[in-house]
């Protein structure tokens, strides 16, 4: 299944259970505010809200700001939203794509094969003149069961080794990669050997829609990430990096995610490189 669905394709899907897709609203932004109030103010009809910080991630700590969630918590959230093994899932956010990509990545990692991200998110939906709802759907009773391991996950040591033998992409902004500034984590810079490929460049700036597959393939190819190359991704805390993994998948390039990312790496006193080159 292609990892992305357009507004037109989603609007044409059959509505209702069991025929329709399970819709997950994952509106989130770094530093807040929470996504629940904007969800309640208007969301795609039938969509369930999923909280990234508490249901798609574990508590912040030594493993980073957004470590893998407790499987029981994640499973309960997916079942409440009606996710089951044979039901298609569509995830969306406000338009940036990061929150939706985190949900997509977790579901794919947990073994669910029928999950797609709404290209352009809620912004694209409303731009197409399609309706929103304010009623909150009742909790469902999905039969989702997690089977972790379907997508690659890197530890800190594995990310360091991959940077030497393959391609490790740093999905953060260029100024954070270079070490010019670090507004969140304790140390500035990047993992030695990592190549900068900011997540923000995966989309068309004016619309927030993903670049076409051939454009993404060209972009990642310039960073050394091509089909057949071993590729890994990290970011600040494993959220925008999931969007990079999504974009790589659209380009036909499988990639593993270092979930702990820079928030784990920088807090552990590991080696750091600075400047515009991998180091």
Report helix, strand or coil for 92.
Answer: strand
91-120 core/surface letters (b: 16 or more CB in 10 A; e: else): bbbbbbbbbbbbbbbbbbbbebebbbbbbb
DSSP letter at 118 equals E
Of 26, 235, 251, 273, the active-site residue reads: 235
Q: Check: CB of residue 119 under 8 Å from CB of residue 127.
A: no
129 flagged as catalytic: no
30-51 core/surface letters (b: 16 or more CB in 10 A; e: else): eeeeebeebbeeebbebbbbbb
> What's the CA gap between 133 and 103, in Å, rounded?
21
> What's the CA gap between 242 and 156, in Å, rounded?
16
Q: Which residue has the tokens 């499973």?
A: 75
DSSP letter at 169 equals E
DSSP letter at 91 equals E
DSSP one-letter string for 15-68: PSTTTSPEEEE----TT---SHHHHHH-B-TTPEE--HHHHSS--SBTTBSSPP
C-alpha dihedral sign at 253, 99, 63, 176: positive
Catalytic residues: 235
């Amino acid at each position: 299944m292609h990892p992305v669905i357009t507004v037109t394709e989603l609007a044409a899907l059959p509505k209702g259970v069991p025929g329709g897709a399970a819709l997950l609203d994952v509106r989130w932004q770094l530093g807040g505010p929470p996504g629940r109030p904007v969800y309640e103010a208007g969301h795609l009809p039938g969509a369930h809200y999923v909280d990234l910080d508490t249901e798609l991630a574990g508590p912040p700590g030594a493993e980073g700001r957004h470590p893998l969630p407790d499987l029981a918590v994640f499973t309960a959230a997916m079942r409440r939203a009606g996710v089951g093994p044979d039901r298609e899932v569509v995830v969306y956010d406000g338009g940036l794509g990061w929150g939706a990509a985190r949900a997509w990545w977790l579901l794919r990692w947990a073994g669910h094969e029928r999950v797609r991200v709404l290209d352009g998110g809620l912004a694209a939906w409303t731009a197409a003149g399609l309706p929103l709802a304010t009623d909150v759907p009742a909790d469902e009773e999905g039969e989702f069961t997690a089977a972790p391991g379907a997508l690659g996950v890197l530890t800190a040591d594995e990310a360091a080794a991959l940077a030497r033998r393959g391609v490790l992409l740093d999905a953060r902004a260029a100024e954070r990669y270079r070490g010019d500034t670090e507004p969140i984590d304790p140390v500035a810079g990047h993992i030695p050997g990592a190549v900068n490929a900011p997540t923000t460049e995966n989309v068309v700036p004016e619309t927030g829609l993903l670049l076409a597959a051939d454009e993404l393939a060209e972009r990642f190819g310039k960073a050394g990430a091509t089909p057949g190359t071993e590729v890994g991704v990290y970011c600040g805390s494993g959220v925008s990096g999931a969007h990079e993994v999504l974009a790589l998948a659209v380009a036909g390039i499988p990639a593993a995610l270092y979930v702990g990312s820079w928030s784990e790496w920088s807090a552990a006193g590991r080696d750091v490189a600075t400047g515009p080159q991998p180091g």
